[in-house]
Amino acid sequence: MGKFTKIAWADSTSNPWWGCEMISPGCIHCYARTLAKRTGTDCWGHGAPRLSMGDSYWAESLAWNEQAAAGAVGKDGKHWIVFAGDMCDIFDDAGLPSERERLWNLIRQTPHLTWVLLSKRPENFVKHLPADWGDGYANVWLGVTCDDQEHGYPRVDVLRNTPAKIRFLSCEPLLEDISDVNLEGIDWLIVGGESGASSRTFDLAWARALKVRCAETDTAFFFKQLGSEPTESGQPFSIPNPQPNGKRDVHGKAVVNFPEDLRTQEWPDSDRHSPLPRTPSLLSVFQTPTNQPSDSAPFDKATNPFSNPGPRRADAQNRIESFPEYAPGLSSAELLPVLQWV
């Protein structure tokens, strides 16, 4: 679980358990499997036991809900988005049934949080969605991974026929052209290239084609990252600029490195933020675990940024001015909420 996450489209993460297994090509370089291995946790692969969480872990989301009820919002300026299952698949048959039920209960208890559920196993929706799902919980966005045609398109068809307040696609890592995917009934599409060692190439033309399709179907489009091996017109696409923290942008996440026509990060059911995310999304650029107060919450628009200035605020101001591409046209007043967290 993380109260803060570097995932560009989410604010927090939570997992009913750790563990999963590979079922399609998109899983080959799974970051969650790598992280579990680094921590010495044997919870990955067929037959591996899943790792459950303790009571204190589950209680964290209840605290977030209280803060959200008091007006705290996240990167989209409207919701506090919790990605449930970044270290598992909620609809995995090998998951823990008791913990899945506990998750549904938690979601019911936290109406001020927006829960995002992403799966590569939508065929299990009918088995594992709660009995009172109905037309979908008001605070749940339901999505599937669509990283190629063979495995992704059938998942999209199942999702389209499953009731949900918001239906979305995660086209990451995008492995091929899927520009003819049927977006009927799809509210949101996230796209990005693969990052890390041995990454597969990501043709930016694939993302551009999806952006056009989203415009045609009024689907919110979110370009998440270039990945480590982006290409354009058959040639490697350069990622020249460092991240705002000065480190190399090895995963292609810094918006300043995106082609101008792909600097679009929209959320569904929110004010659309295009071509660049506005103030709340800038938090994802300047927040890091080392400079966040332990008791801080996602951006609260009612908070006075000068009420408790952080020791690194002047440095952050310098970094903002050094990277004007992150905030074109934003006034000083709009930038100030970013500074309270640094």
pLDDT over 80 at 313, yes or no: no
Among 33, 255, 2, 15, which Cα is nearest to 118's? Answer: 15
Q: Say how far apart CA 2 and CA 215 lie, in whole Å.
A: 33
- Write the single-letter amino acid at 104: W
Determine the average pLDDT of the residues in 67-88.
Answer: 96
Indicate the domain borders of the chain: 1-139, 146-271
DSSP label of 273: -
Q: What pTM, to 2 d.p., does this model score?
A: 0.80
- Asked if pLDDT for residue 339 goes beyond 80, the answer is no
Reported as a single tens digit per residue, the pLDDT across 127-161 is 999 999 999 999 999 999 999 999 999 999 999 99
1 close to 15: Cβ distance less than 8 angstroms:
yes
User: Would you state the structure tokens that stand for residue 251, as one six-digit string?
Assistant: 């995963």
Residue percentage of the chain with pLDDT more than 70: 78
Helix (H) or strand (E) holding 232: strand 230-232
Mean pLDDT calculated for residue range 311-335: 38
Q: How far apart are CA 86 and CA 7, in angstroms?
A: 10
pLDDT, one tens digit per residue, over 208-247 is 999 999 999 999 999 999 999 999 999 999 999 998 888 9
Number of H helices, E strands in the chain: 9, 12
User: What DSSP string runs through 168-195?
Assistant: EEEETT--S--TT---TT--EEEEE---
pLDDT confidence bin for 1, thresholds 50/70/90: low
The rounded percent of the chain whose pLDDT value lies above 90 is 71
Spatial CA neighbour of 165 closest among 131, 141, 149: 141
How confident is residue 39, by pLDDT bands cut at 50, 70 and 90?
Answer: confident
Range with the lowest mean pLDDT among 32-46, 60-74, 92-106, 307-321? 307-321
How high does pLDDT run on average in the chain? Answer: 83
What DSSP assignment string belongs to 15-82?
-SEEBB---SGGGTT-HHHHHHHHTT---BSTTPPPEE--HHHHHHHHHHHHHHHTTB--TTSS--EE
Is residue 249 within 8 A of residue 257, CB to CB? The reply is yes
Per the omega criterion (within 30 degrees of 0), is the bond before 337 cis?
Answer: no
